[in-house]
């Protein structure tokens, strides 16, 4: 009987994995033995890092959106459906429309979402660049500010050892902001204050979630006149008075609060009963090597929804997708998975408007910071302008 692979989520993780699976399993697909279906609740596919450039007026965002169908190989079935229910005993996912999608193998790739409401006052008083709407709002504020203070705050999930989306993004945007305000000629009248919470994954009282980067950041920030302070865990915002309060008992006034909000898994996963993460955050319990959901032999997961201690980043997914695709292909052909994920993350951080820093790390080794360069920026630009779409199609 035809075997069915179902992928839920048409973002970076779902799209790359669907295309990689279609390539690996082409002979079986051609013979009508295997069928791949991807369902997603959006017609569009967003290149999420593009929002950062929108925040600094470098893009309106249109070039960072593609029609989801256009990114998938023609052999993949695609339907716009909102998954609402999962039955792992009877192997099906149910959609809001009532349609049931049965599977032999399931890949859960529904990402995560910003949840500013989890901190009192943050929705009203704060801004963030993690969504296109938020970035557009922020762009207007960055364009108009002439004096005062931009306060940067970073929030981590409550579940231990889980990062927020894209660990380096708060650093990238703080330095981009310095460049942007310098270009506008208003930097000397505006204080940029970067703060970091007391506990950030395994680091305590640092400026970043890994020790080696945390140690070099003070010099980087000092060089740009960016003020920095650790031990500021945002607990409350007074939107009227424009004051941010910390769990450590401090208060800081701001003109603009650029915050990394709390992140949680999407509703479908939070309500699936598959996660026991703290505060109903919904992170999927994931085997760090096979990338299977723990306790479920035919369900894989990757991307921002997992509970692994690695960055929630495209540069992570790029290395996870082959593990998932190889393992499913091998299970179908031979009855056992063959690949293990080693925690590899490779990315180019945008350290300012025209400087790129290559970074890589895995479960064993932290990022070793290297000087950022114009060449790094060139590669990052290439990724933004087109390499990403090739990567999503499984070509890079």
Q: Any contact of residue 21 with ligand FAD (CB under 6 A)?
A: no
Residue 133 dihedral angles phi and psi, to the nearest 5°: -65, -45
Q: Which residues contact 25 (CB under 8 A, 6 or more apart)?
A: 34, 36, 329, 332
Q: Any contact of residue 276 with ligand FAD (CB under 6 A)?
A: no
CB of 4 to ligand FAD, least distance (A): 17
Contact indicator for 192, 234 with CB cutoff of 8 Å: no
Return the DSSP state at 272.
T
Q: Any contact of residue 181 with ligand FAD (CB under 6 A)?
A: no
Q: Any contact of residue 268 with ligand FAD (CB under 6 A)?
A: yes
Angle at 72 between CA 67 and CA 77, to 5 degrees: 105
Q: Helix or strand or coil: residue 312?
A: strand
* Stretch in the footprint of ligand FAD (CB under 6 A) among 2-10, 149-157, 273-281, 387-395: 2-10
Q: Any contact of residue 40 with ligand FAD (CB under 6 A)?
A: yes
Distance CA 362, CA 355 (A): 24
Buried-exposed string 25-41: b where 16+ CB fall within 10 A, e elsewhere? beebbeeeebbbbbbbb
Q: Any contact of residue 41 with ligand FAD (CB under 6 A)?
A: yes
Q: Any contact of residue 52 with ligand FAD (CB under 6 A)?
A: yes
* Stretch in the footprint of ligand FAD (CB under 6 A) among 5-13, 142-150, 273-281, 365-373: 5-13
CB of 184 to ligand FAD, least distance (A): 21
Shortest-Cβ-distance residue relative to ligand FAD: 11
Q: Any contact of residue 315 with ligand FAD (CB under 6 A)?
A: yes
CB of 42 to ligand FAD, least distance (A): 4
Q: Any contact of residue 391 with ligand FAD (CB under 6 A)?
A: no
CB of 251 to ligand FAD, least distance (A): 27
Q: Which residues contact 1 (CB under 8 A, 6 or more apart)?
A: none
Q: Any contact of residue 14 with ligand FAD (CB under 6 A)?
A: yes
Nearer to ligand FAD, 51 or 122 (CB): 51
Nearer to ligand FAD, 21 or 39 (CB): 39
Return the DSSP state at 266.
-
Q: Which residue in the block uniquely carries the two structure tokens 């943050």?
A: 122
For ligand FAD (CB under 6 A), the number of binding residues is 35
Q: Bridge partners of 253?
A: 243
Q: Any contact of residue 300 with ligand FAD (CB under 6 A)?
A: no
Q: Any contact of residue 83 with ligand FAD (CB under 6 A)?
A: yes
365: how many CB neighbours lie within 10 A of its CB?
13
Q: Any contact of residue 103 with ligand FAD (CB under 6 A)?
A: no
Contact indicator for 237, 256 with CB cutoff of 8 Å: no
Contact indicator for 200, 206 with CB cutoff of 8 Å: yes
Contact indicator for 223, 371 with CB cutoff of 8 Å: no
Contact pick of 6, 8, 21, 372 for ligand FAD (by CB under 6 A): 8
Q: Any contact of residue 337 with ligand FAD (CB under 6 A)?
A: no
DSSP assignment string, 85-121: EEETTTTEEEETTS-EEE-SEEEE---EEE-GGGSTT
Contact pick of 36, 51, 107, 176 for ligand FAD (by CB under 6 A): 51
Q: Any contact of residue 132 with ligand FAD (CB under 6 A)?
A: no
Distance CA 114, CA 42 (A): 17
Q: Which two tokens stand for residue 94?
A: 């149910």
The count of C-alpha atoms lying within 13 angstroms of the C-alpha of 98, restricted to the half-sphere facing its C-beta, is: 0
Distance CA 169, CA 174 (A): 8
Contact pick of 19, 153, 165, 327 for ligand FAD (by CB under 6 A): 165
Contact pick of 115, 166, 257, 324 for ligand FAD (by CB under 6 A): 166
* Stretch in the footprint of ligand FAD (CB under 6 A) among 6-14, 27-35, 140-148, 217-225: 6-14
* Stretch in the footprint of ligand FAD (CB under 6 A) among 70-78, 142-150, 211-219, 310-318: 310-318
Q: Any contact of residue 384 with ligand FAD (CB under 6 A)?
A: no
Interacting residue ranges for ligand FAD, rule: CB under 6 A: 8-14, 39-42, 48-49, 51-52, 82-83, 109-111, 129-130, 165-166, 169, 266, 268, 303-304, 312-315, 317, 347
């Amino acid at each position: 009987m035809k075997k069915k692979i179902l992928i839920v989520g048409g973002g970076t993780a779902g799209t790359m994995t669907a295309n990689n699976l279609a390539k690996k399993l082409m002979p079986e697909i051609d013979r009508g033995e295997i069928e791949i279906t991807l369902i997603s609740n959006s017609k569009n596919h967003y290149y999420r890092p593009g929002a950062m450039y929108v925040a600094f007026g470098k893009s309106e965002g249109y070039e960072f959106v593609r029609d989801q169908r256009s990114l998938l190989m023609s052999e993949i079935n695609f339907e716009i459906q909102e998954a609402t229910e999962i039955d792992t005993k009877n192997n099906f996912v149910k959609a809001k429309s009532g349609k049931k999608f049965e599977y032999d193998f399931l890949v859960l790739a529904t990402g995560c979402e910003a949840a500013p409401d989890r901190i009192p006052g943050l929705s009203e008083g704060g801004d963030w660049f993690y969504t296109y709407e938020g970035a557009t709002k922020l762009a207007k504020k960055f364009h108009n500010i002439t004096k005062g203070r931009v306060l940067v705050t970073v929030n981590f999930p409550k579940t231990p050892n889980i990062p927020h989306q894209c660990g380096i993004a708060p650093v990238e945007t703080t330095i981009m902001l310095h460049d942007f305000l310098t270009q506008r000629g208003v930097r000397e009248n505006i204080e940029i204050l970067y703060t970091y919470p007391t506990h950030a994954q395994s680091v305590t009282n640092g400026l970043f979630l890994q020790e080696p980067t945390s140690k070099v950041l003070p010099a980087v920030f000092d060089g740009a006149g960016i003020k920095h302070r650790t031990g500021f865990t945002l607990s409350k915002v007074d939107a009227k008075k424009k004051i941010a309060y910390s769990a450590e008992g401090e208060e800081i006034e701001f003109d603009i609060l650029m915050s990394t909000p709390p992140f949680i898994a999407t509703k479908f996963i939070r309500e699936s009963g598959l996660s026991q993460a703290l505060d109903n955050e919904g992170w999927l319990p994931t085997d760090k090597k096979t990338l299977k959901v723990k306790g479920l032999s035919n369900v894989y997961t990757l991307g921002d929804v997992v509970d692994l201690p690695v960055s929630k980043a495209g540069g992570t997914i790029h290395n996870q997708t082959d593990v998932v695709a190889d393992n499913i292909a091998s299970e179908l052909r031979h009855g056992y998975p063959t690949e293990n994920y080693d925690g590899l993350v490779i990315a180019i951080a945008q350290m300012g408007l025209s400087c790129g820093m290559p970074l890589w790390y895995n479960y064993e080794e932290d990022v070793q910071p290297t000087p950022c360069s114009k060449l790094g920026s060139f590669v990052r630009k290439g990724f933004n302008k087109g390499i990403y779409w090739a990567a999503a199609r499984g070509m890079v």
